Chain A
Amino acid sequence: MMMQFVCQLLGHLLIICIAAFDLLQQLWVRLHALASRSYDYLQCDQRAFLDSALRGLEKLPKHLVLVVGPDDCYVDVALLKRIFSYAQIVGIPYLSVYDTRTQGNGYVDLSLFCQLDEKSERCFHWPSSSQAKEQKLIQNGHKINQNGTSNGYASNGAHQKQLQVYQITRADGHALIADVCRELYESRKSVQVQAMLEERQKLTNGINGMLNKRLGYAVPEPELGIVFSRQTCTYGLLPWHVRFTEFHTHRSGSYFDAKSFAQVLYKYARCEQRWGK
């Protein structure tokens, strides 16, 4: 009895301590974000920083996926544009965004600032053709700061290619696999499906092809994921495609700048994929 009382008391103390720590940490994170934003605004050249910081990295992901948790209220168009520009600078060609928030609750629609691909309904390009032209103009006559660095993340032109961006939705997860299953079931008597049923690997390949076709994905599976949330969770992100994706969580509210991006890429470059071996 006495023991139970002591445990309950300790437990409540623990909860209070954790809650207080969490609150202080969040306050610190917001203060830090404010200070970092002002600092970035005043001086820095993200391109030069990323170019120098990431020089000599052993590997870079080809496909980056951003997961925005339902509780996040800091990821907006401005932040996404910033991340897209970092990806463009370092030369990541494909990027997917999975925003789990609802319309009116922070959900960011990529069509607002990205250009829809003419051939695909799901693929966007960033920056849009007109913005890309503007970038080129800025690059040709760009202003140099007193410290010798140039303003803006797209002011120098090592990687001018447009970024290929995909908006992932909840319907692209479990539901899409079920759709593929339904389609296969409807034609289960056909020669193709019967051939797939002879060997499981054939069926796996068949499902994979159909999923990619539906997703409009002619790109590699995402190798790196950044989760913007207070906790790490996939929130149902593409269960078929993210089996080997490295996940990194960026705490909601903390400032995401070129340094944070470089840190994630460093961690990714350091990790060794063994592919079961």
Chain B
Amino acid sequence: MSWISDYRYTCLQKLALQTLQLTGRIPNHIAFVMDGNRRFARSKQLDKIEGHTRGFSKLADVLRWCVDLGIKEVTTFAFSIENFKRSNEEVEGLFNLAREKFAKLLEETNRLNEHGIRIRVIGNILLLPEDLQRHIATAMLRTEHNDKLFLNVAFAYTSRDEMTQAVESVLKSDEPADDEPLHPSDINERLLEECLYTRHSPPPDMVFRTSGETRLSDFMMWQLSSSVLYFTDVLWPQITIWNFLASIVAYQCDRCRMERFKRGERLHSAQLAKASEFYSLRVQKFLHRLDANRRKLLIALASN
């Protein structure tokens, strides 16, 4: 498959992979900020788009390592809304790369279904060109019943836009007048969390950012409040399986220390749900409507 490479492990790599699997807790969900493609291209005197292409093939390797290690969900930051500020040539080049990769993915739908891989694109996809919207919506709909590995691609995404979108969903919630509207007391962080693009995903256990930058660049700011942040100096196209395994070891060390905080967060979330009638028919109907509307939009985009 083009999105998941046929990486060939050496004996030592196999041994390391299995050792980590057997002895420590493997994160359920990892989020990657794939930074450094352009710096890599510059250092090798390549075209910027070639840097992004190499970055994509590295993603295919990383997805293979994640699958083999038993990681259930991967989120990658592919294109920020802020990236629209780049030159037209580069933005168009990135869109062409995305067109090519999504077209390839659609050709491989049977294999994706065989492996149970579900593709979700998170972000404001209405900002993208129409043909790309169609590819993305089709890929999401065709894989929507798979549940073994979740691959979330953040495209035309910023966290601030995502939070605004969540607030917008609540404010527009009483448009169909026949249902009981939300009560103001229903609105809290638990409800907003359910209105994010990542509504059906657990928060990432670890955020992995390459290229030595130690900021989050408006990526999953809401979701990563209890995630271990792992920053490495290596440029994304240059990361090796050893860099990846080192991050897993770091996560395994940090996880125990984070457990108490995470438990507190879970407890707080459960208490909020109980206090605000989160499980009431009114709120659940609103969330059901939200899902239905999002699906309707995908169907409309796919049939454009």
Point out residues on A near B: beta carbons under 8 Å.
3-4, 6-8, 10-12, 14-15, 18, 22, 70-71, 100, 173-175, 177-178, 180-182, 184-186, 188, 193, 197, 200, 203-204, 207, 230-237, 239-240, 242-248, 267, 271, 273, 275-277
Contact A244 B84 (CB under 8 A): no
Asked whether A243 and B85 contact (CB < 8 A) given A11-B19, A180-B167, A248-B214, the answer is no
Q: List 18 A-B contacts (CB under 8 A).
A: A10-B19, A12-B23, A14-B249, A18-B253, A174-B192, A174-B225, A178-B188, A181-B166, A181-B187, A197-B168, A204-B160, A233-B227, A235-B261, A239-B159, A239-B163, A271-B213, A271-B214, A277-B82
Q: Is B228 an interface residue, CB under 8 A from the partner?
A: yes
Please name 9 further chain A to chain B contacts, defined as beta carbons within 8 Å, in addition to the given A240-B221, A244-B218, sorted by A numbering: A7-B21, A173-B225, A193-B171, A200-B168, A207-B164, A239-B221, A246-B213, A271-B214, A275-B82
Interface residues of B: mostly helix, strand, loop or mixed?
Answer: helix
B24 touching A11, Cβ below 8 Å: yes
Among B22, B188, B257, contact of A7 (Cβ-Cβ < 8 Å): B22
In-complex Cβ contact of B217 among A200, A204, A239, A244 (8 A): A244
Interface residue ranges of B189-247 to A (CB < 8 Å):
189, 191-193, 213-218, 221-222, 224-231
Name the residue on A nearest B220 (C-beta): A239
Contacts of B193 in A (CB 8 A): 174
* Set A11, A204, A246: member contacting B23, Cβ < 8 A: A11
Inter-chain contact A204/B82, CB cutoff 8 Å: no
Query: Is B225's CB under 8 angstroms from A182's CB?
Result: no
Question: Once the chains are docked, how many angstroms separate the CA of A176 from the CA of B281?
Answer: 25
A residues in contact with B86, CB < 8 Å: 276-277
Q: What residues on B are CB-neighbors of A3 within 8 Å?
A: 15, 18
Chain B minimum-CB-distance residue to A234:
B225
A213 to chain B, nearest CB (A): 16
Chain B interface category by residue count: 35 or more
Contact between chains at B258 and A231 (CB < 8 Å): yes
> Nearest Cβ distance between residue A235 and chain B, in whole angstroms?
6
A244 to B15: give the CA distance in the assembly, Å: 39
Q: Is the CB of A203 within 8 A of B167?
A: yes
Contact status B222-A7, CB under 8 Å: no
Cβ contact within 8 Å between B224 and A178: no
Chain B residue nearest to A11 in the complex (CB):
B23
- A185 to B192: give the CA distance in the assembly, Å: 12
8 Å CB interface, B230-277 against A: 230-231, 249, 253-254, 257-258, 260-261, 265
Q: How far is the CB of A20 from chain B (nearest CB, A)?
A: 12
Say which residue of B19, B171, B222, B228 sits within 8 Å of A231 (CB atoms).
B228
Residues of A within 8 A of B254 (CB): 230-231
